[in-house]
Structure 1
Amino acid sequence: MNTRLETYRRKRNFRVTEEPRGRTSARAAKRPLRYVIQRHEARRLHYDFRLEIDGVLVSWAVPKGPSLDPAVKRLAVHVEDHPLEYGDFEGDIPAGQYGAGHVDIWDSGSWTPSSDPSRALDDGHLKFELDGGLKGEWVLLRTGKESTQWLLRKLDDEHAQPGHDAETDGAPPDAASDVSPAAPARKADAAGDASNPGKPRKAPPMRKPPPSSLPAQLATLVDRPPRGPGWSYEVKYDGYRILCRLEGGKARLLSRNGNEWNARMKGLADELQKLGLGDGWIDGEVVCFDDQGISRFQALQQALDGASGGLVFVAFDLPFWNGVDLRAQPLSERQRRLQELLEPLPADGPIMFTQQLDVSSDTEGASAWTEACRLSLEGLICKKKDSPYTDGRSKTWLKLKCRPQQEFVVGGYTEPSGARSYLGALLVGLRDGKKLNYTGRVGTGFTQATLKDLHGRLQKLHRKTSPFSTSAEGRGRYGRSSGAIQWVSPKLVAQVDYAGWTEDGLLRQAAFRGLRDDKPASAVTGEEMLTLEQLQADSEQAGDGRKRKAKKAPSSASATKANRAGRVVIGGVSVSHPERKVYTKPDFSKKALVEYYDSVAEFMLPHLLNRRVALLRCPQGTNATCFFQKHLRSEPPEGVTLDEEQVVIENARGLLELAQFGVIEFHTWGSSLPRADRPDRITLDLDPDPDIPWADIVIAARLVQRLMQEAGLVPYLKTTGGKGLHLVAPIKASHSWDKAKEFSRAMAAYLGREAPSQFTASVSKARRKGLIFVDYLRNGNGATAIAAFSARARQGAPVSMPVAWDELDSRHDLRAARFNIANALKHRQEQGGDPWQDYAASRKALRLSFQKELQA
């Protein structure tokens, strides 16, 4: 049975759509091969370029349409084959169906291949001549052996037309009618005059242009994650909120207040224009990522002050697109369309889709929030999935900040003292109507460069009197050195971190982060935080009259596009985007990472089986945002099960499926199932100050080894892939988590007392300078430690490697990337034996009497 049309038919419901079901047809001996180009106003305007080959129309989606300019190469995405009858199709594909939208025949005629078309198609180099509205020689070139992306280009001949654009210049002036004798004549409608096939077709109706302005939806600050179902979670980025308006190949970048930023972000605007996305509004955040993939506001400012390079537009909403106002659509539908729009674009391009998290409850939300803060992110944004896009501050978009931070108006500064140059501290305030209330000083967070820049700006704003109101009790006190204050006109807006507020309403421990040029000083009034109870009360008062019914999104089957990146199969798992860079310096692809886990699965699985596992996911690689995840919101993949919503890996297939899912790091609990409530190991994590030499760490590890042996334990050694070491001792699962944690804490405290020049058990980072922190916190209920053989999301692709005690040598540093995904397997094989082979047989009972001896 010929299956050329199987994919085409599977994607369509022919009881709903008028598209032809079709059949594979043999070509009449003397009939020329047909081609047709259809202008398709779907979610994204494109042109469908179709060539008759072997009884079907082999098809490509060309986003910007064919160009007669030989210097222009058009992206052409190879899609499923269509039946020959599709060459006569015009009309509307109903909403909810695959490719929903309006279809017009833009051009048609005959084509002649320069060689066997089937072989040329397989080779990825198809040269041919068109004879219809379009004429002359053309070529289609595949960009990679397994890629679905091709390039369509007009060859230079008498039919070439420099500067030609399909959308701007319209249909070809001598577009011919179908050349097939069996093809029915088209109706003499807006598509053209069937009695005069040489007559140009009328241009399709103009789409509604995007509105000239678009008020932004804003999030409300809350104190904890919202309860109830239906919320999505996104990473909160540290950048400038920007709405991008695209029309006619031009991009305008506007702040939420409508101020244009093209001049400051010219490089980014130029790159966005080159993508040819379409017309409409995209809402997002412009950011600058550091080497760890974290967005940094100061890095953004430095980029803007330079050549505006390195800027990335993180897109999270699609309010208006290709003539359709989407604001009334539910968020889930708008974001689905946005993901489809961005899917074909390169991962390292100027625009990316926002990072979303798998969170299904407020409990998981709280854990995700904690982890986001641990990773030094700004926080999280929670959005109601069924909510429309509305103007201004809303209760359906909420934000959870990792630290107090907001904008303040600068009203003065103090003169410098000591070694400080240019200025001492900024005096800042907040607007209350026409008044500017003083809120405190900002004296830290400056670099020499920012001090110089600030001083230059402030000098232009000098004034003789204070801009602050002194009507409020206690707000007129500016500090002991009030005589050294220079007042300025309240024009500049500073982004400030702070620890909290005093009883007098003044800032505590305020630190400068940068100036905000995207917000006027007159609008800086402070930000109110709602408690969860206030939020719910407001929602109840709103009543049912303000609720909107969400529209049902198309099924995933009809909405999913073909994977444009190609796939490879590793260990039976289909790996998407195998070429994506997961690591840089050196470069390792996603394929290399999954292949690593496939190669070490037999050695790694004993450390994973029957243990709850937490995951560090980096879906876009280690240079983008990563997040810690203990639960899976969706159905677990093959080889993975859930134990009270916690992830458990059953076999090698599960390990690889999670690696395909974007997981880089695997962290395990200290207990085994079915007794998750009883720890079966003790882990002491030696976390040294970065300045401590390797030789001293070796001596320290030997001391801890002897202490654990004195406690009746058998410690095993592994690297962490970072700067420290793990000593892991198997124990009998006969005590509670609290007992195990207290036992390990007693050993850590003993080391700190007996060797205070080497060890500390204090969790305070300020007290760890020059010392090794003996981290006993890995032994608490729900705490995790990096699994043996797990890769780490760090430079060099390091691995947590089990090693024998005789490998611990002061001459050979085993830390960081000494063991990595490129050499870990080879090292394991060269060892001959497993240094942890007696681990299971080495379980010992905790001697609680020894704990008392340590504490005596």
Structure 2
Amino acid sequence: MADLLDTYRRKRDFSRTPEPAGGTGDDSDRPRFVVQRHRASSLHYDLRFEIEGVLVSWAVPKGPTLDPEVRRLAMHVEDHPVEYLHFEGVIPSGEYGGGDVIVWDTGTWEPVRTKDPGRAVRDGELHAEVHGQKLRGRLVLVRTKEDGGKESWMLLHKHDDHAVEGWDPEDHPRSVLSGRTNDEVAEDPDRTWSSGADAAEAEQLLVPDPLPAEAIDALADLGKSGTWEVHGRSLKVTNLDKVLFPGDPPVTKRELLAYTARIAPVVLPYVEGRALNLHRYPDGADAKGFWHKARPDHAPDWVGAWDNPAADPGETSTYVVADEPAALVWAANFGALEWHPWTSRTDEPDEPTYALVDIDPGEGTGWDEVLTLARLHRTALEHLGVTARAKVTGSRGIQIWIPVVAGYTFDDTRAWVEKLSRTVGKVVPELVSWKWEVKARGGKARLDFTQNAINKTLVAPYSPRPRAGAPVSVPISWSELDDPDLRPDRWTIRTVLDRIAERGDPFRALLGSAQELPEIT
């Protein structure tokens, strides 16, 4: 087994290249694949399948496609270590394969027509059912020529439900991990590997550094109230042992503040520079909550503020703006169990930066039906070449965020999302109602495009929800819509931090990915 990587290692100087030296390992229960867009001496795509403890690899000059009428040349190259699955960065000039690399797609796969994919490769024909964020359906690799140790193969996509005629990989240029293009990686290769480190420690994820343990220990050492030094601010915290979320054991305010302090740096890019609507439950999630939009006079000076010039008499005129992590901790201490940022920024309040799809289940809507609607939106967005990400709500539904360039109005985004969702709704009319009144929907789901309006908000990524166990609204990758264990309230404030430490933040792909919305015909 160790010999499988000899060729890979001989070609590389690991004192210079950030690529992982890696090793062989056991096959995963759900084997993975990756496609890397690699600009070396020439642009090509590297297609790699996890087989027999390594990544069996092909270089595909024109890239894989969903178009079943297209045949691609694929050159069989040396096996790579499994740690290469998430390699993204710049290989130095002069090194083998020198150039920039992004993770263009990744996911899981299943061998078809064989229980021994290694043998299938050696025999010259591999059939693979792939479950990626861009590539889905049946891929087939067939060896066509052997010449002096070099193997030419043909890559094609079968005619199946995932086939898309005319589909071009170059229309989808961004990394599914970081949301960056090859140009952006070349300019700032901040997702790097530490060669020689253990696989679990090698990858540096694109999430902020964790809060020092000393800060959490200091909170634990306080009595029922006190002053807590957190994120460089002094914050007076109160009623720390009050139960805010029922559960076994129940979640106290102390635990909520500890979670908020840890998650705030991750949440910050999605709330900073935006007015914040707070859903307050000062007596806990079991009691009635209320919306609080006005920044209170007693808020510390360092909690940001925005005066809304368009506020009518009697409307909220000054909002909280969380421009630093400590401001979210203050909001949680203020009894805000949910955080809802505006879709627009305070510098251009009439211009949304996201278009929003809200899959709102009805009384008769099952989770499988919610997933069906989300997958149909995924297919439609991929077909349109639109960068978007979904998140489970922590309650019953799924929401999809689509970053847009400056200049759109809320009327624009609302009309576009309405057209998108009505197109999806036509596929499964038995699941969807367009009635405004809940009672008139007959228990069906609503695809709520009306959330695309000024001062209408959806819950922030990683915000808690006011329910037993403190569930959290969590971003997911597109491929996770096919995870049989996915549930809308799968993660809580006690479990989501481990997920982020392991997988990073899927919504990071939205940052820097503002795009024009294509016409929907």
Cα RMSD for the two superposed structures = 2.1
Alpha-carbon distance change, 762 to 705 in structure 1, aligned in 2, over 3 angstroms? farther
- Aligned partner of residue 686 in structure 1, secondary structure: strand
CA distance in 1, matches of 2:295, 2:500: 32
Name structure 2 gaps, 5 residues minimum.
1-221, 308-317
Aligned to 1:752: 425
Q: Is the 8 A contact 1:698 1:810 kept in 2?
A: no
CA distance in 2, matches of 1:776, 1:636: 34
Could you tell me how far 1:565 is from its partner in structure 2? 4.7
Could you tell me how far 1:802 is from its partner in structure 2? 1.0
Alpha-carbon distance change, 747 to 584 in structure 1, aligned in 2, over 3 angstroms? same
The answer to whether residue 215 in structure 2 is matched with residue 569 in structure 1 is: no
Could you tell me how far 1:763 is from its partner in structure 2? 2.1
Aligned to 1:339: none
CA distance in 1, matches of 2:479, 2:320: 35
Q: Is the 8 A contact 2:378 2:478 kept in 1?
A: no
CA distance in 2, matches of 1:659, 1:638: 17
Aligned to 1:716: 389
**Aligned pairs for 1:392-431 within 5 A:** none
Q: Is the 8 A contact 2:470 2:493 kept in 1?
A: yes
- Aligned partner of residue 577 in structure 1, secondary structure: coil
CA distance in 2, matches of 1:628, 1:718: 22
Name the amino acid aligned to 2:228. Answer: V
Aligned to 2:280: 617
Name the amino acid aligned to 2:493. Answer: I
Moved over 4 A (4+): none
Name the amino acid aligned to 2:238. Answer: S
Q: Is the 8 A contact 2:394 2:488 kept in 1?
A: yes
Name the amino acid aligned to 1:837. Answer: R
For residue 699 of structure 1, the aligned residue among 372, 386, 409 is 372
Could you tell me how far 1:722 is from its partner in structure 2? 0.6
Aligned to 1:10: none
CA distance in 1, matches of 2:485, 2:229: 34
The answer to whether residue 330 in structure 2 is matched with residue 657 in structure 1 is: yes
CA distance in 2, matches of 1:788, 1:770: 27
Aligned to 1:727: 400
- Aligned partner of residue 733 in structure 1, secondary structure: coil
Could you tell me how far 1:695 is from its partner in structure 2? 2.7
**Aligned pairs for 1:615-654 within 5 A:** 615-644=278-307, 645-654=318-327
The answer to whether residue 438 in structure 2 is matched with residue 779 in structure 1 is: no
Could you tell me how far 1:731 is from its partner in structure 2? 0.5
Could you tell me how far 1:803 is from its partner in structure 2? 1.1
The answer to whether residue 269 in structure 2 is matched with residue 596 in structure 1 is: no
Q: Is the 8 A contact 1:682 1:730 kept in 2?
A: yes
**Aligned pairs for 1:81-92 within 5 A:** none
Percent identity, aligned pairs only, is 26
Alpha-carbon distance change, 809 to 846 in structure 1, aligned in 2, over 3 angstroms? closer
The answer to whether residue 489 in structure 2 is matched with residue 830 in structure 1 is: no
Aligned to 1:844: 515
- Aligned partner of residue 381 in structure 2, secondary structure: helix
Q: Is the 8 A contact 1:570 1:598 kept in 2?
A: no
CA distance in 1, matches of 2:367, 2:486: 6
Q: Is the 8 A contact 2:273 2:323 kept in 1?
A: yes
Aligned to 1:679: 352
CA distance in 2, matches of 1:570, 1:728: 34
Name the amino acid aligned to 1:624. Answer: A
Which is bigger in relative contact order (C-alpha 8 A, separation at least 6)?
2
Alpha-carbon distance change, 710 to 763 in structure 1, aligned in 2, over 3 angstroms? farther
- Aligned partner of residue 387 in structure 2, secondary structure: coil
Could you tell me how far 1:569 is from its partner in structure 2? 2.2
Aligned to 1:820: 492
Could you tell me how far 1:805 is from its partner in structure 2? 1.5
Radius of gyration: which is bigger?
A: 1
**Aligned pairs for 1:339-738 within 5 A:** 565-567=224-226, 569=228, 571=230, 572-586=234-248, 587-644=250-307, 645-738=318-411
CA distance in 2, matches of 1:767, 1:733: 37
Name structure 1 gaps, 5 residues minimum.
1-562
CA distance in 1, matches of 2:273, 2:366: 37
**Aligned pairs for 1:20-419 within 5 A:** none
**Aligned pairs for 1:781-820 within 5 A:** 781-809=454-482, 811-816=484-489, 818-820=490-492
Alpha-carbon distance change, 811 to 570 in structure 1, aligned in 2, over 3 angstroms? farther
Q: Is the 8 A contact 1:679 1:737 kept in 2?
A: yes
CA distance in 2, matches of 1:614, 1:578: 23
Could you tell me how far 1:662 is from its partner in structure 2? 1.1
CA distance in 2, matches of 1:822, 1:783: 29
CA distance in 2, matches of 1:612, 1:624: 26
CA distance in 2, matches of 1:763, 1:639: 41
Q: Is the 8 A contact 2:373 2:424 kept in 1?
A: no
Could you tell me how far 1:690 is from its partner in structure 2? 4.1
Q: Is the 8 A contact 1:719 1:800 kept in 2?
A: yes
Q: Is the 8 A contact 1:668 1:785 kept in 2?
A: yes
CA distance in 2, matches of 1:730, 1:718: 14
CA distance in 1, matches of 2:369, 2:440: 18
Q: Is the 8 A contact 1:639 1:652 kept in 2?
A: no
Could you tell me how far 1:627 is from its partner in structure 2? 0.8
CA distance in 2, matches of 1:812, 1:768: 29
For residues 107-147 of structure 1, the C-alpha deviation after alignment (integer angstroms, 9 at most, x for no partner) is xxxxxxxxxxxxxxxxxxxxxxxxxxxxxxxxxxxxxxxxx
Q: Is the 8 A contact 2:365 2:431 kept in 1?
A: no
CA distance in 2, matches of 1:824, 1:811: 18
Alpha-carbon distance change, 749 to 762 in structure 1, aligned in 2, over 3 angstroms? farther
Q: Is the 8 A contact 1:575 1:660 kept in 2?
A: yes
CA distance in 1, matches of 2:416, 2:425: 15
Q: Is the 8 A contact 1:579 1:591 kept in 2?
A: yes
- Aligned partner of residue 666 in structure 1, secondary structure: strand
Could you tell me how far 1:633 is from its partner in structure 2? 3.8
Normalising by structure 1, we get a TM-score of 0.32
Name the amino acid aligned to 2:506. Answer: P
Name the amino acid aligned to 1:835. Answer: P
For residues 346-402 of structure 1, the C-alpha deviation after alignment (integer angstroms, 9 at most, x for no partner) is xxxxxxxxxxxxxxxxxxxxxxxxxxxxxxxxxxxxxxxxxxxxxxxxxxxxxxxxx
Normalising by structure 2, we get a TM-score of 0.52
Name the amino acid aligned to 2:241. Answer: E
Name the amino acid aligned to 2:345. Answer: S
Could you tell me how far 1:711 is from its partner in structure 2? 4.2
Name the amino acid aligned to 2:268. Answer: L
For residues 419-475 of structure 1, the C-alpha deviation after alignment (integer angstroms, 9 at most, x for no partner) is xxxxxxxxxxxxxxxxxxxxxxxxxxxxxxxxxxxxxxxxxxxxxxxxxxxxxxxxx
For residues 185-222 of structure 1, the C-alpha deviation after alignment (integer angstroms, 9 at most, x for no partner) is xxxxxxxxxxxxxxxxxxxxxxxxxxxxxxxxxxxxxx
CA distance in 1, matches of 2:331, 2:516: 34
